[in-house]
Every structure is written in structure tokens, then in C-alpha cells.
Amino acid sequence: AWRREESFSAVVHLTPEEMSEVADAVRRLLDPYRERDDRPSARPAGTMAVAAITRMFPLLPEHTGNDTDKGGS
């Protein structure tokens, strides 16, 4: 049965190279299903169009509260 949505998120610590590798792995994982876009006959019964959205980006450094006050008081 269809669910309204299937979602997950994760924060992982990666090098720039690892981030590219993970993005490539996600693309490869979805590749076998992409042919169904152009070939409706390749779609099994019960399929629906599903949006698969992946965004990978570095997070800004966390503010620890240990910074010295630069405003001068």
C-alpha cells in the first residue's frame, strides 16, 4: 500500500570527495528506475511517479558560545 511519504535525513561528517561519492552512489541507485520515465511499458503494475529529492551541502559551523566578545564591553 502507498504511504503519503517516505522520508529520512541524516547529518554525516564527510570530506568533499566523500560527499561526491555518496551523491554518485545515490544516482547509481536510482538509475535502474529512470528508464521507466521514457518507457511506460517497463513500469510494473501499481507504479506511480515518485519525487526523489537529494540535497547534500556542508553545514555552517556550530556556534559554541566559547567565542570571545569582539564588541568590547
- What is the tens place of the pLDDT at every residue in 14-62? 999 999 999 999 999 999 999 999 999 999 999 999 999 999 999 988 8
Domain residue limits, the chain: 9-56
Those residues whose C-beta lies under 8 Å from the C-beta of residue 71, and which sit 6 or more positions away, are: none
The pLDDT value recorded for residue 52 is: 94
> Considering the entire predicted model, what is its pTM?
0.72
Say how far apart CA 33 and CA 31 lie, in whole Å: 5
Closest CA to 9 of 45, 59, 72: 59
Residue 12: other Cβ atoms inside 10 A: 8
The pLDDT value recorded for residue 1 is: 76
Say how far apart CA 16 and CA 32 lie, in whole Å: 26
For residue range 2-17, list pLDDT tens digits in order.
888 888 899 999 999 9
Per 3-state DSSP, the chain is made up of helix, strand and coil in percentages (nearest 5) of 35, 0, 65
